[in-house]
Chains A and B, each alone.
Chain A
Amino acid sequence: MNKPFAVLPQTDSVCQPPTSTQFMLDRGFRGLCHFGVFLILLLVVALVVEIGGKAVPGIQKYGAGFIAGTVWDPNQLQYGILPAIWGTLYSSLLALLIGGFFGVMMAIFLTQDFLPPRLAMVFRTIIELLAAIPSVVYGLWGIFVVIPAIRPLADWLHQALGWLPFFNSTLSGPGLLPAAIVLAIMILPTIAAVSQDALRAVPLKTKQAAHGMGATHWEAILKVMLPTAATGIFGALVLGLGRALGETMALAMLVGNSNQISLSLFSPANTLAALLALNFPEAGPAEVEVLMYAALVLVLITLVVNLVGSSIMMISQRGGK
C-alpha cells in the first residue's frame, strides 16, 4: 500500500492528509465517474449499432430502390420511402418558413428595446411555455382547433387560386398545411431562444454607433444588428429545422399519412417519423427490418442537419468573442 501523503507531518490541525480508506474511496469514485462517461459513449455506439445492424437485412434486400421507391404495400412486399422523405422535407421547410419568421421577429422584439423589462418577461415566458407543452397535446389541438380554423381559408384559396400547384386540392381534414402550422409553433421557441442569444451577443457599441449616425430604430436593426448576428440566427434556423425533421406526434396526427408526392398544401402527405410511429406497433419481423432501414435514413438526415447547425453555432460563438 503506497501512502502518497505519508511525507506530511502529523499534526492536530484541521488540515489532515487523507487516510488510506479515503484514498481508496477517492479512486473508486473517480473510476465510477469514468464509467458514467463511458456509458454515454456506449449509448451512442449502441444506438448506431442497434439501428444500423437491424437495418442490414433490409438494405441487402431492397438496396437503393427503397429510397427511390414510391409504393408502400406490405402485402406485395413493396416498400419505398420517397413520398415520406418528400413529406418530411416539405413539411419541415414550410414550418421553418413560418416558425423562422415569427421566431426571429420575436427575438428582435424581445431584445431590441421594444418593451419595458416586465412586459418582455411576460412574452419571454409565453414563448418558453410554448416549448413545454407536449407534442401530443399540440396534435390534439391541431385536430380540433387548427383544421376547422383554416378550412374556410383553404377552401377560398382553392377556389380562387386552384390553378397554382400549391392549392390544387381541397383540405379534406388532415393535410400538410395544418401539420406545418403546428410544427412551426413547436420550433418557434427554439429559434426565438437561440436568435435572442445571437442578438444579445452583438456588442452594444455596434448598435450605439448605428444610432449615432442617425439610423432609425429599424434601420439599426435591419442594417446593423441582423447582419452582425446573421451567423447565429442562421444556426438557430438550422437547429429549428433539425427539430422539425424529427418531430413525430403532431405530424402523425395531422399530416394524413397518405403516401403521395404533391406540391399542394392541402393534400395529405406522410413523413418518415410518422411512418415509423404508425407501422412499428403492428410490425412483423419482415416489416421490422424495412422500418429499421427507414429509421436509419431518418438518423442520417437529422444527424447531418444537426451537425451543420451546431458547427455554425460554434463558428458564430468564436466570432462573437
Chain B
Amino acid sequence: MQDQPVVSQPAPSLQHRLAGRSLRSALLSGVAWVCALIASVPLLSVLYMLIMRGGSRLSWEVLSELPPAGFEMGGGFGNALVGTFVMVGIAALIAIPVGILAAIFLSELGPSSKLANIARFAAKTLTGLPSILAGVFAYAMVVLTTGSYSAPAGGLALAVLMVPIVVLTAEEALKMVPKAMKDAAYGMGCTRTQVIWKIVLPTGMPAILTGVMLAVARAAGETAPLLFTALFSNYWLYQDGSFEVMGPTASLAVLIYNFSGMPFDNQIELAWAASLVLVLIVLVINIVSRIIGRPRF
C-alpha cells in the first residue's frame, strides 16, 4: 500500500475549523426548528380563528335556519348543509362504483395491458386537474344542456374530482391483497369474479374505504366547481311539498365564499360558523379514514 491521502481524518491544525463547522451545523438546525415552527403557525391560527369566531356563533338555530338577507339578523345555513350532503352524495354515487370497477380491472384483470396503462395515466392526469375546470366541464355538459343551475350539475363536477382519487387509492388497496390467498381460491376452482368478490374485495375493503373517504372529504370542501354549476340558493331543496331537483342549490362552501365578501357583520359571523362546520366534517372524515385504513398485513 502506498501513501494515500486519508480523507476521513481532519488534520490537527484544522481543529478550530472543525469547531466552526459544528457551529454552522448547529445554527442550521436552529433555522430548521424555526422553519418548522413557522410552518405550524397557519394551522394553529386557522383553528384558533374557527373556534373563537365560528364557535361563538354555532347553535342549533344556525344549523337549521335559512340564510338571512342583507340587513337581517339571525338566520343560519341549514339549506347549505343539506345541499352539501346531497351533492357529495350524488358525486359519491357516480364516482365510487366507476372508480372501484376500474380499479378492479387495473389491479386484477389486466394490470399490464395497454388499456390499463392508458387508464392509469388518464387518472393521474385527472388528479392534477384544477378543480375549477371540473366545474367548467359540468357547466358545459349539464348547465348549458338543461338550461339551469342544479344539484346534479354540482354533483357531476365533484364526481370528476373524486373518480381519479378513488381509482388510484383502490388500485393500491387491491394490490396489497396477498397473492397466496387469491391462488388458494383459484386452486379451488373459483372464477375470477368469485375470487374478486369473496377474497380480493373483502380483504382490500378497509384500504378502499380510506381512499373513498379521502375523496369524499375533498369533495365536501370544494368550492370552485360548485360556483357556477350549483350556484347558490336561499331556499330549501325540498319546499312546498316538491323537490326542486333542477334548481340552484346551496352548499356550505359557496355560502362561505358569498358571505365573506359581504359588508354585514352577521353574514361574516355566519361564514366563520359555516367554516367551522365544514372543517369539522372534513377533519372527522379524515380521522375516521385513518383509523379504518391502518395497515394490517
A residues with CB within 8 A of B: 5, 8, 14-18, 22-23, 25-26, 29-30, 32-37, 39-41, 43-44, 46-47, 50-51, 54, 101-102, 105-106, 108-109, 114, 123, 126-127, 129-130, 132-141, 143-145, 185, 188, 212-214, 216-219, 239, 242-243, 245-249, 252-253, 273, 276-277, 280-281, 283, 288, 291-292, 295, 298-299, 302-303, 306-307, 309-310
Contact = CB atoms under 8 A, between A and B. Distances in A.
Contacts of A8: 189
B291 interface: no
Which of A15, A39, A123, A136 has most B Cβ within 10 Å?
A136
A22 B123 CA distance: 31
Given A51-B136, A140-B256, A35 B101 contact: yes
Contacts of B119: 37, 40-41
15 contacts: A37-B116, A43-B126, A44-B126, A50-B141, A51-B133, A106-B35, A134-B222, A137-B256, A188-B39, A246-B128, A246-B132, A248-B132, A248-B224, A302-B129, A310-B128
A277 B282 contact: no
B161 to A, nearest CB: 11
Nearest to A106: B39
Interface residues of B, number: 94
Contacts of B53: 144
B52 to A, nearest CB: 11
A26 B191 contact: yes
B42 A245 contact: no
B277 to A, nearest CB: 11
A246 B221 CA distance: 16
B28 A218 contact: yes
A40 B98 contact: yes
A299 B99 CA distance: 23
Contact of A253 (B139, B257, B272): B257
Nearest to A248: B224
B232 to A, nearest CB: 9
B188 to A, nearest CB: 5
A15 B144 CA distance: 56
Contact of B40 (A33, A39, A40, A123): A123
Interface in B17-43: 21-22, 24-25, 28-29, 31-33, 35-36, 38-40, 42-43
Contact of B24 (A15, A40, A218): A218
A217 B25 contact: yes
B263 interface: no
A274 to B, nearest CB: 9
Interface stretch (B2-10, B67-75, B204-212, B235-243): B2-10
B36 A105 contact: yes
Given A22-B194, A33-B101, A133-B282, A16 B189 contact: yes
A148 to B, nearest CB: 12
Q: What 6 A-B pairs have minimum CB-CB distances, sorted nearest first?
A: A246-B130, A134-B221, A36-B101, A306-B128, A248-B224, A280-B228
Contact of A36 (B105, B190, B193): B105
Given A106-B35, A138-B46, 15 more contacts: A26-B191, A26-B192, A26-B194, A34-B109, A40-B164, A47-B160, A51-B133, A126-B43, A133-B221, A135-B224, A216-B22, A273-B224, A280-B135, A281-B231, A302-B128
Interface of B: 7-10, 21-22, 24-25, 28-29, 31-33, 35-36, 38-40, 42-43, 45-46, 49-50, 53, 97-102, 104-106, 109, 115-116, 118-119, 122-126, 128-133, 135-137, 139-141, 144, 160, 163-164, 167, 187-194, 196-197, 217, 220-224, 227-228, 231, 253, 256-257, 260-261, 268, 271-272, 275, 278-279, 282-283, 286
A134 B125 contact: no
Contacts of A280: 135-136, 139, 227-228
Contact of A143 (B10, B31, B126, B260): B260
Contacts, number: 262
B167 A40 contact: yes
Which of B36, B99, B135 has most A Cβ within 10 Å?
B36
A17 B118 CA distance: 34
A59 B194 CA distance: 52
Contact of B21 (A23, A43, A216, A281): A216
A298 B163 CA distance: 21
Given A26-B193, A253-B257, A273 B130 contact: yes
B46 A133 contact: yes
A183 to B, nearest CB: 12
A126 B41 CA distance: 10
B8 A41 contact: no
Contacts of A213: 7-8
Contacts of B144: 54, 288
Nearest to A50: B140
A218 B257 contact: no
Contacts of B131: 246, 248
